[in-house]
Amino acid sequence: MKHKYYKEIQKKYYEKTKEEKKKKVYANKLKRTYNFSIEEYNILLKEQNYSCRICKTTEPTETKTRFCIDHCHTTGKVRGLLCNKCNAGIGMFNDNPDLLVSAISYLKETS
């Protein structure tokens, strides 16, 4: 019976602390991956009016609640916050402005 009692306590503690733990894990990932703090993320998000830097949507993705951190793969510098679709789109063009300009010309010519 003690085992069941302790399991219930653990379950309640987990439920009580899981959101806080998720926030800490995300903050650590930002710092480790981009040398970017959660405070900097929130400032940038506010500066972008809580929307994607490219398409201006306020919905980061269909399943997630945070925007992607767009960064230069050469310097590591954070450029902005993007929705998943815009982040994937520029990634598919290898962050190459010349390819994006060519894609724009193509769309204009064929529309």
Across the range 24-42, mean pLDDT stands at 91
Q: What is the CATH number of domain 2-110?
A: 3.40.1800.10
- Give yes or no for residue 1 having a pLDDT over 70: no
Give the range among 12-16, 40-44, 82-86 with minimum mean pLDDT: 12-16
The CB density around residue 54, as the number of other CB atoms within 10 Å, is 16
**Residue 110, token pair as written in the block:** 């064929």
Which tens digits make up the pLDDT trace of 55-106? 999 998 877 789 999 998 888 899 999 999 999 999 999 999 999 999 999 9
The tally of CA atoms less than 13 A away on the side-chain side of residue 62 is 1
Q: What's the rounded mean pLDDT across residues 14-33?
A: 86
Cα separation of 81 and 12, whole Å?
Answer: 35
